[in-house]
Amino acid sequence: MIGLDPLFKRWTVPDRGALFVVSGPSGSGKTTLLREALRVIPGLEFSVSATTRAPRVGEVDGVDYHFVDHDKFRSLLADNALLEHAEVYGNYYGTPRAPVEAALAEGRSIVLDIDVQGAEQVRRSHTEAVSVFILPPSLVTIERRLRGRGLDDDSIVERRVREADEQLAAAGDYDFLVLNDDLDAAHGQLQSILVAELLRRSRRESWIQAARR
């Protein structure tokens, strides 16, 4: 079985939600790890980013990303509708502000899958954000994984490996690390971090009150 026991399902929703920021270079396994964590940990929402990148095969508009053109992206920026934004691999990406603010105001938890530039902006605007960096075992592994998934041509893979190195340089700014040298272990690490954060006493005052009844 992957990750945590399903029993966690009954009690991982806190009184107060958390804002999670998860980064990791392409090929770090971040998407796979996050998808599973969102499936098994109840009450965690995924922040759907806006991007000017073209959809990949299988990606669904409004689910994986909001796929927008440059004009639309510029108007989101002009309207201050993005919590953070960055240019990554030649495309623009940004986190719609409203769903994040609404989740936090209503005590729900939300996960942002964003790059290191975006993470830095979120840390500045939301000091309570909890950040997790997914580390690949090595750049060599990243290159192998990117080629293996066969989604990008050679020049893009080479550029992504270079850019992965730049992302890794920012890993020291994160609260938590996950080392993805073994996928099952990495699932457990990421889910443990998220669950531990959701079990902070400050998010669980109601448990103490309930226990003293």
Give contact residues for ligand 5GP (rule: CB under 6 A).
26, 49, 53, 84, 86, 88-89, 93-95, 113-115, 117-118
User: Among residues 4 and 132, whose Cβ is nearest to ligand 5GP?
Assistant: 132
Residue whose CB is nearest to ligand 5GP in the complex, by number: 118
The 3 state secondary structure assigned to the chain is CCCCCHHHHHCCCCCCCCEEEEECCCCCCHHHHHHHHHHHCCCEEECCEEECCCCCCCCCECCCEEECCHHHHHHHHHCCCEEEEEEECCEEEEEEHHHHHHHHHCCCEEEEECCHHHHHHHHHHCCCCEEEEEECCCHHHHHHHHHHHCCCCHHHHHHHHHHHHHHHCCHHHCCEEEECCCHHHHHHHHHHHHHHHHCCHHHCHHHHHHHCC
CB of 160 to ligand 5GP, least distance (A): 8
CB of 200 to ligand 5GP, least distance (A): 25
CB of 62 to ligand 5GP, least distance (A): 14
User: Among residues 11 and 102, whose Cβ is nearest to ligand 5GP?
Assistant: 102
User: Among residues 16 and 66, whose Cβ is nearest to ligand 5GP?
Assistant: 66
CB of 113 to ligand 5GP, least distance (A): 5
